[in-house]
Chains A and B, each alone.
Chain A
Amino acid sequence: SQTIHQWPATLVQPVGSPLSLECTVEGTSNPNLYWYRQAAGRGLQLLFYSVGIGQISSEVPQNLSASRPQDRQFILSSKKLLLSDSGFYLCAWSPKEGGTDTQYFGPGTRLTVL
């Protein structure tokens, strides 16, 4: 069966510091991968998605970036964090087969920027 991991689970960072969040998927190959952000009391905002290694699409311009160095690894980064980057970050994957794009989510990373 497929499993999706995210780490760290919780992170507290000062404004202006760098960020690296990692997401890995097990038990599948060539998945679509997604990064979402969920601000306090709000819905999910799609940040990035990837259909393959090195292929990243951005949905919202901001100071975040994403990379996919390996087939089942998706990384969310920032060079300098802003207060507004605080939130709950969720990684998700979906299989390419079937065409229905059912997305499966990881446990999330709680980021607090102080």
Chain B
Amino acid sequence: AQSVTQPDIHITVSEGASLELRCNYSYGATPYLFWYVQSPGQGLQLLLKYFSGDTLVQGIKGFEAEFKRSQSSFNLRKPSVHWSDAAEYFCAVGAGYGQNFVFGPGTRLSVLP
């Protein structure tokens, strides 16, 4: 079974600064990888996903993530954070079967003005 860790529970950055949220996974085969964002009291919105091919994937809202097989990582990045990016971010790994879709514990992002 796969597992996901997000080492940072809470990150605070200043508006305009760059951002990197870490995600590490454990899975025996090539995983399907996802990043979701959740604003307070809202559902989860898909930011981006990786299935195969180019290891650098672009998502919505200016986010990107890079799949590094050697490090079992799928870190999320944004070059310049906006105040509206303050939210909870979840990394997830799938195996192509619904019951094996596993979420990480989440990283809460705060943005200072």
Contact = CB atoms under 8 A, between A and B. Distances in A.
B45 A100 contact: no
Interface in A1-60: 6, 32, 34, 42-44, 46, 49, 51, 57, 59
Interface in A72-96: 88, 90, 92, 94
Given A49-B98, A100-B96, A105 B49 contact: no
Which label, helix, strand, loop or mixed, suits the secondary structure of the A interface?
Answer: strand
Contacts of B36: 105
Chain B CB within 10 A, most for which of A44, A94, A104 = A44
Given A43-B90, A44-B90, A103 B101 contact: yes
B67 to A, nearest CB: 14
B43 A94 contact: no
A37 to B, nearest CB: 12
Main SS at interface, chain B: mixed
Contact of B45 (A32, A49, A101, A105): A105
Contacts of B112: none
A99 interface: yes
B27 interface: no
B41 A101 contact: no
Given A100-B49, A107-B43, A43 B98 contact: no
B41 to A, nearest CB: 7
A101 B43 contact: no
A106 B46 CA distance: 11
B99 interface: yes
A104 to B, nearest CB: 7
Interface of A: 6, 32, 34, 42-44, 46, 49, 51, 57, 59, 88, 90, 92, 94, 99-108, 110
Given A92-B44, A105-B36, 7 more contacts: A34-B98, A101-B32, A101-B97, A101-B98, A102-B34, A103-B34, A107-B42
